[in-house]
Structure 1
Amino acid sequence: MQITNTILMVRPVRFRMNEETAVNNYFQEDLDIKNQTINLRAQKEFDDFVSVLRSHGVEVIVVDDLYERDTPDSIFPNNWISFHANGSVGLYPMFAENRRRERREDVLDILEEKGFEIRTVIDYTAAEEDGLFLEGTGSIIMDREHQKAYCALSPRADEGLFIEFCEDMECTPVIFTAYQSVDGQRLPIYHTNVMMCIAETFAVICLDAIDDKKERKNVVDHLKGDGKEIIAISEVQEQHFAGNMLQVIGSGEKRYLVMSSAAYNSLDEEQLKAIHRHCEIIHSPLDTIETCGGGSARCMMAEVFLPRAEVLS
């Protein structure tokens, strides 16, 4: 199955602009207000977002961040952990040293307590010692139905590690580089999931970010070959996190595409119509989180595909 109705989210306690990630996350901006105020705003955006998701029947498992760990980006758990339908859990090597403190064994315990079965943990984190990184489903966009994984190479997405992941998960790698304009230069986009989203029957993608024509054609061919309607967004829309979306299942197996209000408001009428042909949209304001964190709705949701443990009678 491509999508799930269960997601894990981490409520922040010390959210702020992370100086260690700002070196190659060009979406981040500094807000000239106190960190405490930034965190309070982020907590409200987080709580409102969770409420909106739950009101549509999405199962949200909320884990509180740990104050003593001082992890400003803990609100983006999808970068350090992923949960798969075969019972495996992936742990990923993180570019920023202070993001490595986000990894917590108790998250696995919480999921097991809620009835999920974890059969194996695939740990890629030793690659940090070699300066190699692959930041979970930030770097990797899965097409689970067609056993493919898409990855835009960057300082946070190493090609060799990505291929190793694809071998472990028995999926076909689709590799390219995506760029954004920064002070007149074309620099790699830090995470694939800010420029593309793959849903069950469609894909939202900023094709203009893939400068190499052969790479762009290869991505399009894979998506079209798998029957996905391609909904193209502009680089300006991508800057408003219109690529940072996730399709989920709500009440009554209803499908929703989840995004921030900034992303939603950046879309034009034709793009909205195209999405609505496939599913409804859920959006919530995440302005503080987007500005300081340089991530948006999709980054905040770690999908849970783990099987439910069998209950012995």
Structure 2
Amino acid sequence: MSVQAPRSVILIRPHRFTPNPATAADNAFQVSGDYPDPDVLAAAAHEEVTRLAKALEASGIIVHLFEDHDHIRPDSVFPNNWLSTHAGGHVAVFPMYTPNRRHERRADVLELLKARYRVQDVIDYSGLELDDVFLEGTGAMVLDHQERVAYVARSHRADPVALERFCTNFGYEPMVFDATDSNGTAVYHTNVMMCVATEFAMVGLDLIRSESRRTEVAERLRSGGRTVVDLSHHQIREFAGNAIELQGIHGRVLVLSHRAFRSLTEAQKELMQRSCTLLPIDVPTIELAGGSVRCMIAGIHLSPRRASDPGLQHQEPNALANPEVLPV
């Protein structure tokens, strides 16, 4: 088992998916222009989430799959931006930069966590939105759960006040840096340029503007015993940094998109496959919205309740079967 790689995840399967026009201004990964017919687009996104859920389940990962029929939540497929979970029974709910994304926070997801896992507290930072203070979860932060480091590319989606509060409450060391793509555009979410796994870390070091800070980030990652896989600007554009390591029944699995997988070199793949299995999933429709597989997955770093625990006594005997589909 790995502290870094969770065995359970939450996915949201949208029925009315569309790239969010409200996020296009600062998300350089989002595709603008003419999209397919809305019904065709929504059906394709629905199928891609279904495909991801089935692939994770086949690897032995517990999937809690929630449905979203609402048209007011175009980015609901990305739950990792409003929710994170942490060992010891701690849950965080985050303030979102774009007003129409604030509808994505769901009480039924939190209730599921409390019923199936040992939750000691839920710290809700969403009230910071009233002061225009934002921190978009594990999109804005890439968390090293082993070394307790929060890596953060500076942006208005990662306010230093909210970051300080989170790191104080949850016991992380913040490591903040400025990062831009090849066009000089600021990176909107750290998890598009960086992935921390158990034995390696994938990171677009050249995107970090300060040479000294670039060296510090690489050294901090290596200090925990990890190999650093340096990603090029092209690989970052192909979402190679937007991956997540999960714990499968036969070992650790690195989940990423087919597009990201194709951008990796054979040497990079060989290095990563020494410690985990690569699991590429095709999600081209979801990627139109500027996020990929990592953004679609909210990992659950909580201890599961036993079947005899009071919180589970009302459940059917097979209630923990995968995947679990919960309507809204």
Scaled to the shorter chain, the TM-score interval is over 0.9
Equivalent-residue separation in structure 1 for 2:279 and 2:309 (angstroms): 37
CA shift for structure 1 position 66:
3.8
| 1:128-207 aligned within 5 A | 128-182=129-183, 186-207=184-205
Instruction: Give the whole-Å Cα distance in 1 for the aligned partners of 2:111 and 2:124.
Output: 17
State how far apart, in whole Å, the 2-side matches of 1:41 and 1:301 are: 18
1:66-107 deviations in Å (ceiling 9; x for gaps): 42x620000000000111112111010101111000011111
Matched, 1:23 2:25: yes
Aligned to 2:270: 273
Cα distance in 1 for partners of 2:176, 2:234 equals: 23
State the partner residue of 2:75.
Answer: 73
- TM-score, with length taken from structure 1: 0.94
Deviations, residues 171-230 of structure 1 (Å, cap 9, x unaligned): 211111211134xxx121110000000001110000011011121111011011111100
* Structure 2 CA distance for aligned equivalents of residues 3 and 57 of structure 1: 13
**Alpha carbons 2:28, 2:185 under 8 Å: kept:** no
SS at match of 1:294: coil
1:219 aligned residue: 217
Structure 2 residues without counterparts, runs of 5 or longer? 311-328
Cα RMSD (Å) of the superposition? Answer: 1.3
Contact 2:35 2:41 in 1 (8 A): no
For 2:129 and 2:220, the matched residues in 1 are separated by: 31
SS of aligned partner of 2:4: coil
Residue 301, structure 1, aligned to residue 287, structure 2? no
Query: Given that residues 80 and 137 in structure 2 are in contact (C-alpha distance below 8 angstroms), is that contact kept between their aligned partners in structure 1?
Result: yes
CA distance in 1, matches of 2:186, 2:61: 33
Aligned residue in 2 for 1:241: 239
Opposite residue 49 of structure 2, the aligned amino acid is F
Letter of the 2:38 partner, please give it.
N
Structure 1 counterpart of 2:238, which letter? H
The aligned residue for residue 47 of structure 2 is 44
Task: Name the % identity.
Answer: 38
Amino acid aligned to 1:246:
I
Within 2, Cα distance between the matches of 1:285 and 1:38? 15
Structure 1 unaligned blocks of 5 or more: none
TM-score, structure 2 normalization: 0.90
Cα distance in 2 between the residues matched to 1:259 and 1:108 = 26
Q: Which moved more, 1:236-245 or 1:299-308?
A: 299-308
More off after superposition, 255-264 vs 162-171: 162-171
